[in-house]
Structure 1
Amino acid sequence: MVLDMTGVFQYAAFWISQRGGGSGQRVFLSFFLLSTVMSGLTSNDVVVLTMTPFLVYYSQAVDLLTPVAFLMAEIQTANIASMALYIGNLTNVVACQAYKISFLEYSAWMLLPCFVAIATCYIMLRINFRHEKYIPKIIKTPNVDPRSCLVDPVGAIFGLSVLACSLICLIGTSFAHVSVWIVTGPFALLTLGRDIWYDSQGKFKPAQVAAVTTLSDRQLEDSESMTGGGGAATGSDESRMEKGLPEVAVPESSIVQPAPILAEKDNKKLGDDQESVETVGVSHEPTAIPTSSIVTTTGNNNIDNQAASVDTAHQSWTKKFGRKFQQKSPLLHAIAIRMPWAILPFTFSMFIMVEGLSHSGWIAIFANWATKLVPNYVAATYAIGFVSVLLCNIFNNVPMTILVARILQHPNFVDSPLATPEVIKGCLFALIVGSNLGACTTLISSLAGLMWDSVLRSKGSGVGFWNFFKWNMGVMPVVILATLTVVVIELTVIF
């Protein structure tokens, strides 16, 4: 998050788009590799929050018919590349903590499967999006100076240096079996201290914070006007419905704010929960409420008024605190509101659910069933891998990992004569593969997918549940099979 606030990722995105030289295939490969590196070194959440809005605006600036190929490549690489390192995904941490796997041991096992998964994904994406309307042969280059996106160049250098030192220390301390939080904690405190110092010295102004999220949007709009581009992609309404992406209109303002007007049939295509979308900036006269429709009460008026006043006072206090925090610490405030706080109560509730299943005896029953799937390490790897992918779409990948890890550690499974060391290793790494790649099957299979869809909808675009599933089914089954095969080969060589 701190690196994102410096504008370094926007800088990288613009730099790569210009180095593409106008070749659509080269630009696609460049963004594919950028998402891969970002997810591998940070996390999938960072890629989703940073690259998704950029790609929406970028597709307008270069007149892409549809950005679906770039968006699908982004979400798939975000989830696949997060499999490379211990810290790439919360599911990796859960599985490794359960089996006491060190950072170095994890990387030694998972780097090769991750590379194979990335390569397979790229090949399948090129096959599925081979039509020129998805990846055109020629893409115009935005007339933007990438360096203008660096809001805080010194902060970018500092953040990248801290990240590099953290990864080096994680590798070095793996031999001593030091817990990951002990290694990463000091670097996190160092970064927090630097942010507090920045705010205390007034080095990061609120205007700069706003610029981080709008700078690339404004510059893409400026580039669009200079090159004479229309901004929004062209095409018929029927083709837009086929793509699952509504038209993104660009109003006349200094910041690009997509505001589509969708027909009723388009709303149903994107989701039944979208009743209507209004154009930003259009004022409407207030609708008069007939007096006959107003119901008056006497007995509960005082109670309702008291409740309303308490609610108003609470909102006033929280808004006042938020404004004061934003004024005094604009950088910390901007980082705080970007943090995926929803993960905490969600994960906590899933731990409670798993404990409830364990207390009621279901974990033991599931462990007995699991022994039927593992006659040998080959069958165990494929079975646990595909079962994990399936369960991701029922429980979401984080609770699925917690649940399956508890099942595989239950005495009913561990004490089985079939649970040999190679079988246990195969189950562990198949679980990691399933939790990362299973997140690329449906929108509800991971928090990253839900955030990705939320960001797209906030920008006036949406792929939709069915279209997301359809495009992923053309890629992910082959990727999952290839990745699990590499794990089986590794087990064969080691054991």
Structure 2
Amino acid sequence: MTGVFQYAAFWISKRGGGGGQSVFLSFFLLSSVMSGLTSNDVVVLTMTPFLVYYSHAVDLITPVAFLMAEIQTANIASMALYIGNLTNVVACQAYKISFLEYSAWMLLPCFASIAACYVMLRINFRHEKYIPKVLKSPDIDPRSCLVDPIGAVFGLSVLACSLACLIGTSFAHVSVWIVTGPFALLTLARDIWYDSQGKFKGPQAASLVPQENQIKVNNPGSSGSVNSMEQGLPDTAVTIHEKQNGDNSPSLASSVSSSSKIQDGNVIEIPTTTVTTTSPSSFKRFSITFERKFPLLHAIAIRMPWAILPFTFCMFIMVEGLSDLGWIAIFANWATKLVPNYIAATYAIGFVSVLLCNIFNNVPMTILVARILQHPNFVNSPVATPEVVKGCLFTLIVGSNLGACTTLISSLAGLMWDSVLRNKNSEVGFWNFFKWNMGVMPVVIFVALSVVVIELK
């Protein structure tokens, strides 16, 4: 909400010097760093609309190369840190893995995967229509994107301190929420203070959109035009009901009466419509009041992925149902057949996790597979050596992150990415998403799993 990511994106685009390949690499690295330090959801919600606007501003034939690089790096780089993806948290909580131990194992597979991804992207999008040799630089000052410069510095400082504390407290095995909670409250307090000062004016969306994407409405009899992106929503809903033929009952929201006008000696009945505003519901009134008093908090709240809560809750119920029916025990017995040694365990669990992402989605898949690997039928099996168990755990994390880059339904990030594109009148499509990912991700997955095998030696 401070505009810091938009600032970074425009700054990088101008620093690219107009070279298409250098700009592509810059955006690739930016989305990787953003996802690694924050989460894949932040990249999807921030970079996706920017890339759509940017592609129009520089007259790019198709932004598919930049968009695919963004979603792939968002999911790959989210392996780097504990906090990068919800699936990381689920797996680490199940096995009591600390923040530092997690990073010690996952940083190398993450870096190797990012490098492999870049190579494969350049091979798949080698045609100049995807990554032109020359791109014109958008005529926008990056500093104009900073809605709240002080807030940007404050937020980045809090993030840095939070990560430092997570690393420092890993030795004491302190729960992650205990470490991150105070920093979240500090940021919340700052946002409340910022709203109380009446400083938040909203993100400067119009300045980020090229001229051809700004819809202008000309009103007859008035000069100038109105930018549709700058229009506010009405505080109350206005409903107009037309009087139905044969219906003499008055409408609750409006009424239709007649007035007379003499034209050419004839009396003409002219219906007139009276418009009244419907009273908003209590929740609507609360939402309007909250938005007026705390516009920044309201803007943050509506961008939160609230759908993940009931979705995850339902998946927990599904997993518990499978457990009560005895399926977890059966799956655990099957899993012992796939892991005769740590090498087989690494590749088998990794590729199975990727496949299951496309059936269950990556969050419930992680919950399900973690329960299977912790079942007594698997844990007490002779094949469950420490190397095999570690291989299964870390390749489960690899599969849950990289499996999100196969189909749109394999992760919540993919669904949000598609939703953002549709809202911007841009669409990649299910088949194209799968096709472009299949040209990149099999190699990336194999590289990541191979690095885990090397680490286990």
The answer to whether residue 74 in structure 2 is matched with residue 78 in structure 1 is yes
2:220 alignment counterpart: none
2:160 alignment counterpart: 164
1:480 alignment counterpart: 445
Counterparts in 2 of 1:307-322, with a 5 A limit? 316-322=281-287
1:440 alignment counterpart: 405
Corresponding residue to 2:207 among 209, 215, 219: 215
- Give SS of 2:13's match: helix
C-alpha separation in 2, matches of 1:134 and 1:68: 7
Identify, as 1 or 2, the structure richer in helix. 1
Q: What's the TM-score once normalised by structure 2's chain length?
A: 0.87
1:201 alignment counterpart: 197
C-alpha separation in 1, matches of 2:314 and 2:279: 26
2:22 alignment counterpart: 26
C-alpha separation in 2, matches of 1:255 and 1:419: 63
2:215 alignment counterpart: 251
2:87 maps to a residue whose letter is T
C-alpha separation in 1, matches of 2:122 and 2:419: 26
Q: Shift of the alpha carbon at 1:475?
A: 0.2
Q: Shift of the alpha carbon at 1:314?
A: 9.8
The answer to whether residue 302 in structure 2 is matched with residue 330 in structure 1 is no
2:222 alignment counterpart: none
Corresponding residue to 2:151 among 149, 155, 160: 155
Deviations 1:315-359 (A, max 9, x none): 622221111000011111111111111111111111111111111
- Give SS of 2:131's match: coil
| Structure 1 unpaired stretches of 5+ | 222-230, 232-248, 258-285, 295-311
- Give SS of 1:349's match: helix
Counterparts in 2 of 1:311-460, with a 5 A limit? 316-460=281-425
State how many pairs are aligned.
410
C-alpha separation in 2, matches of 1:147 and 1:161: 19
C-alpha separation in 1, matches of 2:183 and 2:241: 55
- Give SS of 2:448's match: helix
Deviations 1:402-441 (A, max 9, x none): 0000000000000000000000000000000000000000
Q: Shift of the alpha carbon at 1:214?
A: 3.8
Distance 1:340-1:124 versus aligned 2 partners, 3 A rule: same
Q: Shift of the alpha carbon at 1:216?
A: 1.8
Q: Shift of the alpha carbon at 1:254?
A: 6.8
Deviations 1:244-281 (A, max 9, x none): xxxxx653477587xxxxxxxxxxxxxxxxxxxxxxxx
2:401 maps to a residue whose letter is N
| Structure 2 unpaired stretches of 5+ | 217-224, 230-239, 248-276
- Give SS of 2:284's match: helix
2:207 maps to a residue whose letter is L
C-alpha separation in 1, matches of 2:97 and 2:207: 42
Deviations 1:191-230 (A, max 9, x none): 01111111122232xxx2142x44322xx43xxxxxxxxx
1:137 alignment counterpart: 133
2:232 alignment counterpart: none
Counterparts in 2 of 1:48-87, with a 5 A limit? 48-87=44-83
The answer to whether residue 454 in structure 2 is matched with residue 489 in structure 1 is yes
Q: Determine if contact 2:79/2:401 at 8 Å carries over to the other structure.
A: yes
C-alpha separation in 2, matches of 1:65 and 1:387: 37
Q: CA RMSD in A?
A: 2.0
C-alpha separation in 2, matches of 1:150 and 1:342: 29
Q: Shift of the alpha carbon at 1:49?
A: 0.5
C-alpha separation in 2, matches of 1:424 and 1:105: 15
Distance 1:250-1:199 versus aligned 2 partners, 3 A rule: closer
C-alpha separation in 2, matches of 1:357 and 1:10: 45
Distance 1:287-1:436 versus aligned 2 partners, 3 A rule: same
Identify, as 1 or 2, the structure richer in strand. 2
Q: What's the TM-score once normalised by structure 1's chain length?
A: 0.80
Q: Shift of the alpha carbon at 1:474?
A: 0.1
2:29 maps to a residue whose letter is L
C-alpha separation in 2, matches of 1:98 and 1:291: 66
C-alpha separation in 2, matches of 1:351 and 1:289: 51
C-alpha separation in 2, matches of 1:129 and 1:28: 11
Q: Determine if contact 2:76/2:113 at 8 Å carries over to the other structure.
A: yes
1:245 alignment counterpart: none
C-alpha separation in 2, matches of 1:190 and 1:374: 46
1:386 maps to a residue whose letter is F
Q: Shift of the alpha carbon at 1:123?
A: 0.2
Q: Determine if contact 2:328/2:371 at 8 Å carries over to the other structure.
A: yes
2:426 alignment counterpart: 461
Q: % of aligned pairs identical?
A: 82
C-alpha separation in 1, matches of 2:226 and 2:107: 44
C-alpha separation in 2, matches of 1:15 and 1:287: 51
1:181 alignment counterpart: 177
Distance 1:425-1:30 versus aligned 2 partners, 3 A rule: same
Deviations 1:109-165 (A, max 9, x none): 000000000000000000000000000000000111101111100000000000000
C-alpha separation in 2, matches of 1:128 and 1:170: 38
Q: Determine if contact 2:354/2:403 at 8 Å carries over to the other structure.
A: yes
C-alpha separation in 2, matches of 1:254 and 1:415: 69
C-alpha separation in 2, matches of 1:321 and 1:38: 34
Distance 1:193-1:356 versus aligned 2 partners, 3 A rule: same
Q: Shift of the alpha carbon at 1:369?
A: 0.5
1:37 alignment counterpart: 33
